[in-house]
């Protein structure tokens, strides 16, 4: 057991209790500190996969009444007072806030309660999303107020630090990259048969297997990926067999798009899969066409599995992938950049393998979970 840098009671606060990137971050930190013997708890809106995993790990959880992503005045007031009650009950030395809504309400609640150390992690600034100017302005103001109320701010990428532009915040901000540890993976055959029938696997045996594992929303940009696959398959004898793992409000729209493009045979939707990373070896290439990112776990996990990665040149992704050295960086608004990348990787198998090896070595050297945990503990101890 590793000796804690500072044995302080830590309360993690996050808006949603599903298991996206921010939730995985909270889970990794909370369980690591719990295993070190520190007193840790997690407060979130509702109950979901995050709370279930934490309970299995023995980490106490709190339900923040009324806490949700959408702005609803009555519910937000209820969540604010719920957070105050939780903080007074648990009496943490450190409150570590994650995500916009939990950050804003949690920072104000923690200041009111008199918490001695408030830490806020920005998992990719929301104001960098491709939205209206008014929305970006209001979101920036909310992020700025949260950062001002916090004693320390953690950014998951150098890009987020460069894009911060917040007077009085830079001096208390630290860049601590999102990171991963190795994880169990199914073999290629096991993973394919877990996702598809024997007949389906045989039918696509000579295709190029492509996968995206991401929540289905506007930022993840699945529509551009579908256009790219449809265009590639219309001009190449070797087809792309594209699997989208994830769920979200626009799933039905994506299915309609695939149908309209005549790609039902080649584009399949597998919905949300718990621990989807275990299936990565079923595929030849990983694609993340996002319009906005912090530093995504999906790219790190795909790289650690030894897959070549095609990903958008946004957020912290270029801090992981060097274009045409350890992967392909594409433009999220240009589907042709995706088809060109897939074409190159298809026709240059040696370089495809080299990219995958280089990416895995980069992640194993610079994005390890132990590094992230130790750097975060040092922030708590300041």
- At residue 381, the pLDDT reads 93
Cα–Cα dist 295/363, whole Å: 12
188-366: same fold as 10-179+368-381? Answer: yes
- Please, are residues 164 and 170 in contact by the beta-carbon 8 Å criterion? yes
Centre a 10 Å sphere on the Cβ of residue 233 and count the other Cβ atoms it contains. 23
3-state secondary structure of 382: coil
Cα–Cα dist 350/301, whole Å: 22
Centre a 10 Å sphere on the Cβ of residue 322 and count the other Cβ atoms it contains. 14
Cα–Cα dist 121/29, whole Å: 12
**Bridge partners for 268 per DSSP:** 243
The residues, ordered by sequence, that sit 6+ positions from 135 with a Cβ below 8 Å of its Cβ are none
Q: Which two tokens stand for residue 19?
A: 């298991």
| Burial class of 71 by CB neighbour count within 10 A (0 to 12, 13 to 18, 19+) | exposed
**Bridge partners for 154 per DSSP:** 121, 174
| Strand-strand pairing, 94-98 and 117-122 | parallel
CATH class, 10-179+368-381 region: alpha beta
Low-confidence ranges of the chain (pLDDT < 50): 1-4
What is the CATH code of the structural domain delimited by 188-366? 3.40.50.2000
CA 228-229-234 angle, to 5 degrees, is 100
* Terminal-residue alpha carbon distance, the chain: 23
The DSSP annotation for 269-309 comes to EEE--TTGGGGGGG-SEEEE--SS-SS-HHHHHHHHTT--E
Cα–Cα dist 182/364, whole Å: 9
Residue boundaries of the structural domains of the chain: 10-179+368-381, 188-366
Report which of 171, 110, 175 is spatially closest to residue 146, judged by C-alpha positions.
110
Per-residue DSSP letter, 202: H
Q: Render pLDDT for 203-259 as a digit per residue (tens, 0 to 9).
A: 999 999 999 999 999 999 999 999 999 999 999 999 999 999 999 989 999 999 999
Cα–Cα dist 84/183, whole Å: 37
Per-residue DSSP letter, 168: T
- At residue 180, the pLDDT reads 96
- At residue 7, the pLDDT reads 65
């Amino acid at each position: 057991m590793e000796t804690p840098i500072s044995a302080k009671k830590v309360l993690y606060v996050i808006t949603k209790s599903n298991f996206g990137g921010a939730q995985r971050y909270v889970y990794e930190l909370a369980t690591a500190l719990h295993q070190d013997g520190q007193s840790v708890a997690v407060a979130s809106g509702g109950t979901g996969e995050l709370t279930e995993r934490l309970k299995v790990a023995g980490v106490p959880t709190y339900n923040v009444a009324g806490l949700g992503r959408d702005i609803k005045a009555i519910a937000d007031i209820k969540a604010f007072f719920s957070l105050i009650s939780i903080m007074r009950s648990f009496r943490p030395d450190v409150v570590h806030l994650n995500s916009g809504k939990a950050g804003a309400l949690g920072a104000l609640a923690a200041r009111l309660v008199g918490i001695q150390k408030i830490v806020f992690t920005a998992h990719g600034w929301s104001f960098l999303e491709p939205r209206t100017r008014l929305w970006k302005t209001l979101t920036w103001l909310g992020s700025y107020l949260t950062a001002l109320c916090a004693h320390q701010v953690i950014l998951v990428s150098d890009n987020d630090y460069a894009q911060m532009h917040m007077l009085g915040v830079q001096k208390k901000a630290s860049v601590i990259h999102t990171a991963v540890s190795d994880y169990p993976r199914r073999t290629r055959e096991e993973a394919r048969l877990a996702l598809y029938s024997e007949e389906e696997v045989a039918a696509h045996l000579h295709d190029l297997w492509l996968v995206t594992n991401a929540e289905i929303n506007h930022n993840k940009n699945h529509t551009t990926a579908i256009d790219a696959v449809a265009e590639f398959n219309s001009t190449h004898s070797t087809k792309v067999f594209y699997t989208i793992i994830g769920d979200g409000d626009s799933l039905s729209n994506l299915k309609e798009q695939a149908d309209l493009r005549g790609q039902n045979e080649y584009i399949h939707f597998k919905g949300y899969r718990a621990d989807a990373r275990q299936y990565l070896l079923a595929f030849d290439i990983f694609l993340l066409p996002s319009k906005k990112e912090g530093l995504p776990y999906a790219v790190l996990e795909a790289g650690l599995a030894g897959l070549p990665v095609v990903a958008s040149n946004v957020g912290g992704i270029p801090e992981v992938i060097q274009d045409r050295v350890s992967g392909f960086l594409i433009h999220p608004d240009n589907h042709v950049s995706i088809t060109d990348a897939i074409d190159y990787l298809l026709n240059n198998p040696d370089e495809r393998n080299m990219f995958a090896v280089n990416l895995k070595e980069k992640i194993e050297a610079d994005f390890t979970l132990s590094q992230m945990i130790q750097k975060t503990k040092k922030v708590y101890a300041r």
